[in-house]
Amino acid sequence: MESNNTSLIDLKSMNILIVDDEAANVRLLETLLGVSDYKNLVSTQDPRDVIELCKSRAIDLVLLDINMPHMNGYEVMEQLQTLGEDKPVVLVLSAQTDRNYRHQALDSLALDYVVKPFDTQELLSRIRNLLEVRRAQTYMRHQNQLLEREVHKRTQELVDSRLEVVRRLGRAAEYRDNETGLHIIRMSKIAALIAKASGMNDAQCELLLNAAPMHDIGKIGIPDHILQKPGKLTADEWKIMQTHSKIGADILQGDESVLLLNAREICLSHHEKWDGSGYPNGLEAEAIPLMARITALADVFDALTSVRPYKKAWELADALSLISSESGKHFDPKLTGHFMSVVPEIIDVMGQYPEPTIS
Banded model confidence at residue 203, pLDDT cuts 50, 70, 90? very high
Distance CA 27, CA 229 (A): 95
Q: How far is CA 149 from CA 7, 86, 331, in A?
A: 19, 19, 44
Banded model confidence at residue 50, pLDDT cuts 50, 70, 90? very high
- The answer on pLDDT for 74 being more than 60 is yes
In this predicted structure, what is the pLDDT of residue 175? 63
Most confidently predicted of 109-118, 166-175, 223-232: 109-118
For residue 121, the 8-state DSSP code is H
pLDDT in tens, 276-321: 999 999 999 999 999 999 999 999 999 999 877 667 889 999 999 9
In this predicted structure, what is the pLDDT of residue 247? 93
pLDDT in tens, 122-132: 999 999 999 99
In this predicted structure, what is the pLDDT of residue 359? 47
In this predicted structure, what is the pLDDT of residue 309? 65
Q: Where are the domains of the chain?
A: 6-148, 175-352
Residues 54, 44: contact at Cβ < 8 Å?
no
**Relative orientation angle of helices 120-174 and 23-35, to the nearest 10 degrees:** 70
Of 85, 90, 89, 88, residue with least CA distance to 145: 85
State percent of the chain over pLDDT 70. Answer: 91
Determine the average pLDDT of the residues in 177-183: 66
Amino acid making up residue 234: T
pLDDT in tens, 12-24: 999 999 999 999 9
Query: Which of 53-57, 180-184, 191-195 bottoms out in mean pLDDT, i.e. has the lowest?
Result: 180-184
- The answer on pLDDT for 264 being more than 70 is yes
In this predicted structure, what is the pLDDT of residue 313? 87
Distance CA 189, CA 184 (A): 8
- The answer on pLDDT for 231 being more than 90 is no
Residues 6 or more apart from 93 whose CB is under 8 A from it? 20, 25, 29, 63, 64, 65, 114, 116, 118, 123
pLDDT in tens, 154-165: 877 776 776 677
Determine the average pLDDT of the residues in 230-252: 92
Q: Count CB neighbours of 60 within 10 A.
A: 23
- Average per-residue pLDDT for the chain: 89
Of 267, 297, 263, 295, residue with least CA distance to 279: 267
Banded model confidence at residue 2, pLDDT cuts 50, 70, 90? very low
Query: Which of 104-108, 152-156, 200-204, 259-263 bottoms out in mean pLDDT, i.e. has the lowest?
Result: 152-156
Distance CA 228, CA 170 (A): 17
In this predicted structure, what is the pLDDT of residue 85? 84
Task: State the fold for domain 175-352.
Answer: Hypothetical protein af1432 (1.10.3210)
Residues 192, 209: contact at Cβ < 8 Å?
yes
Q: Count CB neighbours of 34 within 10 A.
A: 11
Query: Which of 84-98, 155-169, 201-215, 271-285 bottoms out in mean pLDDT, i.e. has the lowest?
Result: 155-169
Please provide residue 17's backbone torsions phi and psi, each rounded to the nearest 5 degrees: -110, 125
Q: What is the pTM of this model?
A: 0.59
For 17, the 3-state DSSP assignment is strand
CATH annotation of 6-148: 3.40.50.2300
- The answer on pLDDT for 5 being more than 80 is no
Q: How far is CA 66 from CA 16, 121, 356, in A?
A: 17, 22, 80
